[in-house]
Structure 1
Amino acid sequence: MTTHAELDLQHYGHADASAIRELLLDVHDEVYEDSDDPLAGRDAFAKFVDHWSAHGGFACVVAHDQGRPVGYAYGAPLSRATTWWVKVTPPLPWTFTAETGTRTFALSELMVCAAWRGTGAARRIHDALMTSRKEQRATLLVHKAHGKVRDLYEGWGYRTVGEAVPFDGAPDLCAMVLTLEP
């Protein structure tokens, strides 16, 4: 590992999804190598990659160190028909949950290989993705049991707005929101 200052941050969009799919899955496999989480398997995760990258507004930043991928973040804007907020408790007011397709960017994944954790790489990847966004805010879901990760996001300005179990088999998650600078 070298210093995080040497990261090469590459931006990708919907048109690049098929070209970077295997890279995203390979980094995921490395990050979750010893996980017993049933949703962490390659096939299960591939469904999430395919779902998010199918969105026309899909955006991704991949960080490389000397040509080796070390982490990434991706997501897409929430559509008018999103169900993102439906299972959040306590229920949020309509004025908060109404989506326009350009109001909220959902950060679906942010992951960094073990050797790069604690170097600032996650923040650099996150910020590279968020600074390109035109939405008013970003949202993400984080495992409720992962207090350190929640604390990290809070340190970046996110605030918890509720909890959710968005689908069968999902863990208890915290829904967090970050106001984006115009």
Structure 2
Amino acid sequence: MDPEFQRHDAKSAQDVVSELVDVYAKVYDVPPYIGDPFFSVDLFRTRLEAAFDTEGFETVTARLDGRIVGYVHGATLPADKPWWASLGDQRPTELVDLAEAGGIFWLRELMVLPELQNQGLGRQIHDTVIAGRAESITALTCIVDNQPAHDAYLRWGYSIMGQIKHAPESPLYDAMYLPSR
């Protein structure tokens, strides 16, 4: 499997938004997400389109035979992002300072179609986006109960800072960071 990777800024990501949403719909069409309003396709589309206005927004897509089979999107972490700020003293001091300077990449979503999971594609997409970023640290939130993703991030070198909820109705997430590369 030799995927073709492509970087998209906010403007060019708008051209593939329907494809990105289609991948999301397939990835999240499984329990416990199916039927949960927090993970609805419409709410995801709204969050994705709002993310286009975030400083440093970027998505990296992976295509096989011309179709998007996985992607990541993220942006420069705003130092006042509520989930980040809610961690308080659980954040290493140097990360607080780095966020203030715009030096943390917020990996917002990473997904691969179910039929291609557990084959290393997620790691390839992850490493591709990080290799092209100016920020030296990557931060993300991962659903505590999403064992495959959670375990992968820990294997890839992420450390857990604490736990957060993105909204009262959201599941519990581990806030994680990848030390500088």
- Settle same-fold status: TM greater than 0.5: yes
Distance 2:9 2:55 in 1: 8
CA deviations on 1:130-166 (whole Å, 9 max, x unpaired) are 1001112001101111233211101111111111112
Instruction: Identify which range, 104-113 or 160-169, moves more after superposition.
Output: 160-169
Instruction: Note the C-alpha offset of 1:79.
Output: 2.3
Query: 1:97-133, CA deviations, whole angstroms, 9 ceiling, x for partnerless residues?
Result: 2423521110000000011101110001111101001
Which residue number corresponds to residue 88 of structure 1?
Answer: 87
Q: Which residue of 2 aligns with 1:9?
A: 5
Quote the residue 1:115 is aligned against.
Answer: 115
DSSP 3-state at the match of 2:145: coil
- The aligned counterpart of 1:167 is 167
What is the 5 A alignment of 1:135-150? Answer: 135-150=135-150
Identity percentage over the alignment? 28
Aligned residues, how many? 177
What is the TM-score when the length of structure 1 is the normalising length?
0.89
Q: Paired residue for 2:28?
A: 32
Shift of 1:87: 2.2
The letter for the 1-side match of 2:60 is V
Asked whether the equivalents of residues 104 and 137 of structure 1 are also in contact (C-alpha less than 8 Å), the reply is: yes
The corresponding residue for 2:69 is 70
One-letter amino acid of the structure 2 residue matched with residue 119 of structure 1:
Q
Moved more, 48-57 or 68-77: 48-57
Q: Displaced runs of 4+ in structure 1, greater than 6 A?
A: none
* 1:48 to partner: Cα distance: 1.5
* Unaligned stretches of 5+ residues in structure 1: none
Paired position in structure 2 for 1:134: 134
Q: CA deviation at 1:90?
A: 6.4
> How well do the aligned residues superpose, as a CA RMSD in angstroms?
1.8
Aligned to 2:19: 23
**In structure 2, the residue corresponding to 1:43 is in which secondary structure?**
helix
CA distance in 1, matches of 2:53, 2:5: 22
Does structure 2 conserve the Cα–Cα contact (< 8 Å) formed by 1:72 and 1:111? yes
Question: If the length of structure 2 is used for normalisation, what is the TM-score?
Answer: 0.89
